[in-house]
A and B are shown apart, each in its own frame.
Chain A
C-alpha cells in the first residue's frame, strides 16, 4: 500500500491531465505550461545530480539540452518529415519510434558530456564552471555554423512527427510524452542515487580523497554521473524541440543554463524533491512574470516617478529571476529543502508513501 501510494497518485494525476487535455477541459496554454513544468523538472533534477549530489559546479547544462534537441530533431525529420528528403519510416510507426528518437538524442548528449567530465578529473569549482560555460558555447557555435540544419536561423520540421501521431489518434500526444519522460527521469535518478553505486556520487561530494581511498572509482563515477545528467537533459531538449516545433541554437545559451541553475539552488542542493518543487514554482513564477499587467503593477512605484519609462515584461523577468537568486542565497543559502527530501522535512509523510 505505502509502496505504491505515490505511484498510484502520480498515475492518477497524469491520467487526469491527459483526459482533461483530450476533452478540452484545459486549454492549450495550460497544456504548454504543464509541459514546460515537465521539461523544467527534468532539467533541474538532472542538473541537481551534478551540482547538488556531486558538488561540482557546472553552468552549461543547456548545452547538453541543445545537443539532444538537435539530434532528436534531425532524426525525427529524417524519419517522418519531408524537410530533409522523403520520410524514411512509415508514419504508422511513429509511436514506437518516437521514444527511441528522444533516447538517441539523450545518448548523444550523454557522450558530449565527456567534454566536461574528463576535465573534471583534475578540475573543480570555478575552473570547471568556466569549462562548462565554454562547452555550452562550443556546442552553440558549432550548431550555428552547420548550414545544412539551418545554422543560426534554426531548424524546423519536427511538427511532421507530431502530425503523424495525430493521424493515428487525435490526442494530447506531447503532453503524454512529457509526462512519461518526466516520470522516467525521476525514476532513473531516484534509483541511481539510492543505490550503493550512486551513493559514491555523494561520497565524492563530501570528501573526494576519502572516496578514492575507500575504493570508489571516482573518475568512472564522475563520467557516469555527468552522462546521466546530460543524457536526461538531452531527452528534455528533444521534448522541447518537438513541443515548439522549432529549435534555434541561441535558445540554449547561458540564460537557459542559468534557469536550470536557479531551479537547483532554489530547491536545495542534492534534494530530488526540492528540485521538483522548485521547478514547479519557478515555471509558475516565469509564467506570472510574463504578464505585462503584473509587471506594470510591480514597477508602478518606479514608473510613477519616471513616467517616460515603459518596462516590458521580457526585460523585468530577467531582473526578477536573478533577484530571486540573490534573495535565496542571502536568506536561505541551502535552498527550499536544503539537502533533505520531502519525507525528511515532514516525517509524517513517511506513513503515506515510500519512494523507491
Chain B
C-alpha cells in the first residue's frame, strides 16, 4: 500500500508553518499563523465562520502562496511550488463542498489522482510502452486495493454523482489517500451529514489514522466530532490564533467561548 513511504525520523515535523500571513487586498485573512504537526498526530482546527480556516488549508496545500511566512512539508519548503508539486511532497486534502470528478467512474477518480508518480508522457501513452503498461497495472491494482479497504468496490463503475452524499465524502477521502500523503487535510468532512453518518465518519477517520501512516489535520464545526477525535485543537478567529490545547481546555477557554458566543457586555 504505502509504496511511496519514505523513512522519516520522528523529529522532523510533517508540517511546520512559521509566521504565515495572507493578505487579500486590504483584508488580512490569516495573520502570523504558526503550527507544528508531528508524525501521527490527529489535530483539529476550529473557529467561527469566516475565521480563515479554509484559507489556512488553501495555503498549506499550495493553492495560495502566503504573503509572509514559510511552510515546510517534511522539512521541505513549499514556497513557489504549484499545488500539484505540493501534493507530491505528501499533502492531500478534501474540500468543504465535495469536489469529485462527477463524470468519471469512481475507479477513474482514484486513478487520475495518481498523476504525481505516472512517470510516462504522451508518447508512452500512445505507443503503450512497457513502462506505461507496468505503471497502469500498478495504478489499477492500488486503486482496486483502496476501493476494497474503503468498501467502495461495488461502486467502482458508478459515477460519483449517483452515490449517496456520505459515500461521496468517503470517496473523496479515499481519493486523497490514494496520493500516499503524509499529511491529510480534511476540510469539514462531516458537513451535511446526519448524526448517524457523522458517527460513521468518526469511526472512519479514526480507522484511517490507525491503518494508514498519516498525520491528520481537520476542520470541523461539529464539536462532538472534534472532541471525540482530536488530541489537539487550535482555534482561530479573524485570522488570529486565539487558543490551543486539548479538547477539554478548549471547551472551557474563555477566548473560545467569547469567539463563538459573543461577549457579555455589548
Contact = CB atoms under 8 A, between A and B. Distances in A.
A48 to B, nearest CB: 15
Interface in B38-87: 61, 63, 82-84, 87
Given A197-B125, A199-B111, A216 B84 contact: yes
B112 interface: yes
A210 B100 contact: yes
Contacts of A93: none
B113 A214 contact: yes
A246 B114 CA distance: 47
A216 to B, nearest CB: 5
Contacts of A210: 95, 99-101
B interface, size bucket: 35 or more
A192 B112 contact: no
Interface in A188-204: 188, 191-192, 195-200, 202-203
B218 to A, nearest CB: 16
B154 to A, nearest CB: 19
A188 B128 CA distance: 11
B116 interface: yes
B103 A339 contact: yes
A195 B93 contact: no
A209 B63 CA distance: 9
Given A213-B61, A217-B84, A224-B122, A207 B99 contact: yes
B132 A195 contact: yes
A274 to B, nearest CB: 15
Interface residues of A, number: 28
A228 B126 CA distance: 11
A206 interface: yes
B120 interface: yes
B136 A192 contact: no
A210 B176 CA distance: 10
A191 B136 CA distance: 13
Given A210-B95, A214-B179, A203 B122 contact: no
A232 to B, nearest CB: 12
A212 interface: yes
Given A191-B125, A195-B125, A217-B82, A209 B112 contact: no
Contacts of B112: 196, 199-200, 202-203, 211, 214, 216
B63 A213 contact: yes
DSSP majority for the A interface? helix
A202 B104 contact: yes
A218 interface: yes
A215 B88 contact: yes
Contacts of A207: 99-102
Contacts of A192: 122, 125-126
A269 to B, nearest CB: 10
A105 to B, nearest CB: 19
Given A209-B99, A228-B122, A191 B128 contact: yes
A333 to B, nearest CB: 15
Nearest to A189: B126
A209 B64 CA distance: 12
Interface in A159-217: 187-188, 191-192, 195-200, 202-203, 206-207, 209-217
B122 A215 contact: no
A196 B126 contact: no
B118 interface: yes
Nearest to A214: B113
A210 B95 CA distance: 9
B83 A196 contact: no
Max count, chain B CB within 10 A of own CB: residue among A207, A215, A228: A215
Contacts of A202: 101, 103-104, 108, 112
Contacts of A191: 125-126, 128
B139 interface: yes
A202 B92 CA distance: 20
Contacts of A200: 112, 115
Contact of B93 (A213, A217, A219): A213
Nearest to B118: A197
Max count, chain B CB within 10 A of own CB: residue among A192, A196, A212, A214: A214
A206 B136 contact: no
B231 to A, nearest CB: 26
A100 to B, nearest CB: 17
Contacts of A211: 101, 112
A187 B92 CA distance: 35
Max count, chain A CB within 10 A of own CB: residue among B84, B100, B101, B112: B112
Interface of B: 61, 63, 82-84, 87-88, 92-93, 95, 99-104, 108, 111-116, 118, 120-122, 124-126, 128, 132, 135-136, 139, 175-176, 179
Interface of A: 187-188, 191-192, 195-200, 202-203, 206-207, 209-219, 224, 228, 339
Q: In the A-B complex, list the 7 residue pairs whose CB atoms are closest, starting with the nearest.
A: A215-B116, A195-B125, A210-B99, A215-B87, A214-B113, A206-B101, A216-B115
Given A197-B115, A209-B95, A217-B115, 20 more contacts: A191-B128, A192-B122, A195-B132, A196-B112, A196-B114, A196-B118, A197-B120, A197-B125, A199-B104, A199-B112, A202-B103, A203-B112, A206-B103, A207-B100, A207-B101, A210-B99, A211-B112, A212-B82, A213-B83, A214-B115
8 contacts: A196-B114, A196-B135, A196-B136, A206-B101, A207-B100, A212-B63, A213-B61, A215-B84
